[in-house]
Amino acid sequence: MKRLLTILSFSMLWLLLAACTTTTDETPTTTAVPNTPPPLATPTLAPVTTETETPATATVEPAVTAVPTQPTTTAAPDTNALLALVQADLPENAFDGLDVLPLNVPAGERPLWAVYSVGFHNFDVEPLPNHFVALFTWNNDSWQELARQQLNGDEPGNFGFGPDFLYPEGINQVNLDPNDSHSLWLAVSGGAGAHGGTFQLLRFDGTTFHLEVDTGNANPGVGYFEDLNGDGTQELITQLHDYYVFCYACGVRYLQFGIYTWDAVNQQLLEITLQPMLMGQQGHPARQPTNRAVELANADLWPQALAQIEEAERLAAASSEPTDTFTLGWDAAIIRLYNQAYQDELTWAPYPLLTNIFYGDFAAALDILRGYGSEQIFSATSPLIQGTMAEGNEPWLATYLLRQSSAALAAPDLDPATLAAAYYFHAWGSYLQNPANPQITADLQQAATLSPTEPLFMQVALPAVQRIQFGPGETAASLQGNLPANDVDVYVLSAQAGQQMLAMVSPPDAGLSLAVSGSNGDFIYGQQSATLWQSELPDSGDYVIRVRSGETAVAYTLQVIIPQRISFAPGAISATVQGDVAAHVSDDYILSAAAGQTMTVVIESPNSNVLLTIVGADGIPLTNGNMSGATTWQGELPATQDYTIRAIGTLEPAAYTLTVTIE
């Protein structure tokens, strides 16, 4: 500051002298006031002494660059020149621009500026330029770079990618501890992809940058600062929510936070998580409710966890015994954070039933179900799903219901009402996942036993399961159905791991769609369109096929085919299969072969009533008996893959012999 006053004094004197020596027609030249940022009361950086100042031509890692100055010693730092200096070392058009942020420093300290890239990085530049932050000071009439941090997320253990985009206001100076005289902090909020956000927390220790936090999520605004535990210092809170519960635009979120606080004594950033009171607090009246609160919170039973932690705080305040205030205080802060966040979420939640389940308020979730009969709840077209964000996302709804209810069921000593509700939602999730699962009935019986007066749990009538079964020796089944508009039919069949399955629904242009999920509820993706699905089955067990209508009612045919695999004996080049096929039905076989091999297929039947079709796994037909009447085929195979061989019945049932040779 003293130096600044001196500069200003000389500047004013120079102006007075200039005014006395020029005519009234001339315009006096002025010197700009330095844009040095205001000082802070609390030191955060070690002072720089005259003996250690770097001459203008010296080199300081990572870089020192002298900026040409005016002949006078009163020249102020020109941040435009600083930006030009940094720009000169970058690839052309690497970023939309650069910006500079004057930083708050203690009185008597060297002034500091942060220079950083803004806008998008240029995806046409190779290698792709990474957004960055560089720290500069003004020393001996030149700009001196002190540190630089690439925001590319490549450091081990970090998020994995940096921002694609930075707003000019995306970098801010923050203060995690006013009593820490060693650290300067910068928070960097950026964007990635279509709507993702990134967040990085940088600490400058007077010599170099430290990337303390590097994270991101599917939504912008990943990190924010708040005094979470009331100790007078800011904590970093990162929002790691699951924004894709159903879909990003659906708006249903599972909340998850990361919490960090600065330990100035040990100079490290601590991640704060729920912790029980340890054995050293054995016998303390607050230990049991604290540890119970942690158990409940870990099961996502946040309202009950809040009641327990408040009881722990009351007992600790009334006790004369020393309390582990660090553990109790942070557990209380975390539990309150989640409770408040979920209460805020419920004011606008697009699917409050699941949000209440995430919150652990099973009673509130049950209230949403009241007024519906069991035949409406346990239905593929439940009004709790149709017309909501859950429609079309039933497997994901089932997965979350099962996950959350299983966590509650695993919590020890849960009260009977919550336990009964958890069993009920576990039953519903199991039904949505696989309506043939015997666990559904067992869970409903448990719920009724624990809460015998709850009307929802009494005499639940489950609908009959539409199970697909093949006849003896058959490899396919065909089913007829009728769907109202915007409705769904659910089918279940058992199959073995490694089998190929094909499902198709017709007519193909009637707004129909189908989806296949495994016994764990996960969608299975294969070669598929809206009305056709084909894949190798990953597990043995039940598979669920959902046929969904569009805006109009429709009569449909569902065909499911699981071909029998043909294998050759060791050393053999051919195999023969005997079969019987009904009229207008097909038997399907599958075998693997390599590109360039010659395959010969012959079907023999009385009066050549059984026709031959061969289709590769890539969907390309080699022959189509329905079109050509073919009963034989020979040719070089175009690709290494599975081939489906179809024996097609025509006007009447027929026995046949199928011979396949590969050379």
Higher pLDDT, 362 or 475: 362
- Is the per-residue pLDDT at 461 higher than 90? no
Q: What is the mean pLDDT of residues 405-433?
A: 96
Higher pLDDT, 468 or 30: 468
Which pLDDT band holds residue 153 (cuts at 50, 70, 90)?
low
pTM, two decimal places:
0.76
- Comparing 27-36, 117-126, 178-187, 599-608, the range with the smallest average pLDDT is 27-36
What is the pLDDT at residue 156?
Answer: 54
Confidence check: pLDDT of 68 > 70 = no
What is the pLDDT averaged over residues 522-536? 80
For the cut 70, the answer to whether the pLDDT of residue 557 exceeds it is: yes
As a whole number of Å, the end-to-end CA separation of the chain is 92
Mean pLDDT of 112-126: 96
pLDDT confidence bin for 70, thresholds 50/70/90: very low
- Mean pLDDT over 494-516 rounds to 89
User: What one-character DSSP code corresponds to residue 405?
Assistant: H
What the block records as the tokens of 372 is 């519906």
Across 20-29, 273-282, 421-430, 586-595, which has the greatest mean pLDDT?
A: 421-430
- Which pLDDT value is given to residue 182? 79
Predicted confidence at residue 146, as pLDDT, reads: 97
- What is the C-alpha to C-alpha distance for residues 460 and 479, in angstroms, rounded to an integer? 28
Over residues 587-598, mean pLDDT: 91
Is the per-residue pLDDT at 317 higher than 80? yes
Evaluate whether 550 touches 468 at the Cβ level (below 8 Å): no
Convert the pLDDT of each residue in 619-641 to its tens digit. 789 999 888 889 999 999 999 98
- At residue 368 the predicted structure's pLDDT band, cuts being 50, 70 and 90, is very high
| Percent residues over pLDDT 90 in the chain | 60
Architecture of domain 566-662: Sandwich (2.60)
The lowest-confidence range among 292-306, 428-442, 450-464 is 450-464
More reliable by pLDDT, 353 or 518: 353
Q: Inform me whether the pLDDT recorded for 61 exceeds 90.
A: no
Confidence of residue 195 (pLDDT cuts 50, 70, 90): very high
Burial of 261 (0-12, 13-18, 19+ CB in 10 A): buried
Find the mean pLDDT for residues 534-545. Answer: 90
Q: What mean pLDDT comes out for the span 129-147?
A: 95
Contact predicate 608/631, CB 8 Å: yes
pLDDT band with cut points at 50, 70 and 90 for residue 298: very high
Q: CATH number of the domain at 466-561, please?
A: 2.60.120.380
Alpha-carbon distance values, 549 to 183, 247, 552, 598 (Å): 62, 21, 7, 43
Instruction: Kindly report which listed range (190-194, 289-293, 302-306, 563-567) carries the lowest average pLDDT score.
Output: 563-567
Q: What is the dihedral of CA 270, 271, 272, 278, to 10 degrees?
A: -70
**Would you say residue 607 has pLDDT above 90?**
no
pLDDT digits (tens, 9 = 90+) for 75-97: 558 999 999 999 999 999 999 99
Of 48 and 162, which is predicted with more confidence? 162
CB 114 within 8 A of CB 169: no
Q: What is the mean pLDDT of the chain?
A: 85
Residue 463's pLDDT band, with cuts at 50, 70 and 90, is: confident
Do 466-561 and 566-662 share a fold? Answer: yes
Mean pLDDT of 430-452: 93
Lowest mean pLDDT among 61-70, 331-340, 472-481: 61-70
User: What residues does each domain of the chain span?
Assistant: 1-31, 39-271, 279-346, 370-457, 466-561, 566-662
Q: Looking at per-residue confidence, does 8 or 300 come out higher? A: 300
CB of 560 closer than 8 Å to CB of 474: no
Question: Is residue 79 within 8 Å of residue 55, measured between CB atoms?
Answer: no
